[in-house]
Amino acid sequence: AVRDCMVSDAPLGAFLSGGIDSSTIVALMQSVSARPVKTFSIGFHEDDFNEARHAAAVAAHLGTDHTELYVTAQDAQAVIPALPAMYDEPFADSSQISTHLVSRLARDSVTVSLSGDGGDELFGGYNRYLAGERMARFNRRTPRAARRALAAAITAVPVSTWDSGAKDLRPLLPRRFQIPQIGDKAHKFAGLLASDDGRGLYRDVCSQWPNPNGVLVNGSEPETLIDRNDLWRGDDDLPHAMMLMDALTYLPDDILTKVDRASMAVGLESRIPLLDHRVFDFAWRLPRDMKLAPKGGPDGGKSILRHVLYRHAPRALFDRPKMGFGVPIGDWLRGDLRDWAESLLDVQLLRDQGYFKPSAVRAVWDDHLSGRRDWPHRLWCVLMFQAWLAEYRPSSE
């Protein structure tokens, strides 16, 4: 699949984050290439989001021709006005910013770029698969009142306090336990304590706003694939059920949409070897233990991809917690992007438009600004809708 994707008359390269998926693709590319593969990565000055140093280490080991760009809030601010037209819908994955910027960086040198998208959904890479299974069992065995008390205790500690405490402990822990953004994850865990079954747990994991009626005027949620009973057969099948839901919804509707529009906006063709139909069919025939590590295993998800990768690069380069392709949007909203956000979250504006409940939106915004909670993704959903609305329905109409 990688070799087929490399057939091109145009200059070709690859996105490299330093994670398992992109590193595997780049390693295989370099193994069949007579010259250094051109690779591109994005970095952030905020350590919890910065994978550039890992990408650089992988690139150095594989011998690629590597280029990186460090992104600031000012860079993001410059991209934001173009997002409504770029996506032509209220698309709210904040990594759309960095995806566009790394595409623009790559386009300066190549016109075709390979990526590692699809690896998480096909080979069990997201933390939520194993964590969700454990969480579902814990919730089933623990009385609701006890779970509610535990959630209250966790959320009573502000995100910033969780993060500062973890920062002090991080140097004392093995690399694989140095979890970034621990405060956000702790509060997310607290929110999942209310889930009573696997389907509810998955819905809560994937939803930024748990109840549409809580934020939308006359809000309701239509039935979707998540509501199909035959997909949720018990905790033992939960990881595969979640992977299937991600492959059918999150992958095409978020990941692929994001990459396609961000890259094509700069004239860059993105190719995805892991979604070759042969790889896709092969992945769904694999037994669980070839995707998710056996109980107690050190690697977590994507076991089979790791075995392929470790033929080309040492395990030590990847012995760290999964980071994902996130951006420090929470910090930016409290800083350089605050005025922009305030203009779109104005109470009177929200009231006049009639889509969102101003009190609900402002409560989340105030909590975020104060540091009591960390709501970057919840706010980004509203902000991207508001930015799209401002673009296509000007207030003068």
- The burial of 175, by beta-carbon neighbours within 10 Å (0-12 exposed, 13-18 middle, 19 or more buried), is given as exposed
* pLDDT number for residue 30: 98
Mean pLDDT value across residues 125-137: 87
- Give Cα 324 to chain centroid, integer Å: 5
Q: How does the average pLDDT of the chain come out, rounded?
A: 88
Distance of alpha carbon 49 from alpha carbon 86, whole angstroms: 24
Mean pLDDT value across residues 153-172: 72
pLDDT tens digits for range 28-82: 999 999 999 999 999 988 877 788 999 999 999 999 999 999 988 888 889 999 9
Mean pLDDT value across residues 345-362: 96
The owner of tokens 């305030």 is 342
Mean pLDDT value across residues 202-228: 87
* pLDDT number for residue 178: 59
Which range is most confident: 14-23, 135-144, 151-160, 190-199? Answer: 14-23
pLDDT over 90 (residue 236): no
Which range is most confident: 146-150, 240-244, 341-345? Answer: 341-345
* pLDDT number for residue 395: 58
Distance of alpha carbon 222 from alpha carbon 220, whole angstroms: 7
* pLDDT number for residue 353: 95
HEC string of 303-355? HHHHHHHCCCCCHHHHCCCCCCCCCCHHHHHHCCCHHHHHHHCCHHHHHHHCC
Query: Are 323 and 178 a contacting pair, CB within 8 Å?
Result: no
Q: What residue ranges do the domains of the chain occupy?
A: 2-123+249-318, 127-243, 330-392
Q: Which residue has the higher pLDDT, 219 or 383?
A: 383
* pLDDT number for residue 136: 86
Q: What is the DSSP string of 7-32?
A: --SS-EEEE--SSHHHHHHHHHHHHT
Query: Are 99 and 325 a contacting pair, CB within 8 Å?
Result: yes
Mean pLDDT value across residues 258-265: 97
> Does CATH place domain 2-123+249-318 in 3.40.50.620?
yes
Distance of alpha carbon 329 from alpha carbon 77, whole angstroms: 11
* pLDDT number for residue 364: 95
Distance of alpha carbon 229 from alpha carbon 343, whole angstroms: 43
* pLDDT number for residue 179: 64
String of b and e for 223-252 (b: at least 16 CB within 10 Å)? Answer: eeebeeeebbeebeebbbbbbebbbeebbe
Which amino acid, one-letter code, is at 169? L
pLDDT tens digits for range 85-116: 999 999 999 999 999 999 999 999 999 999 99
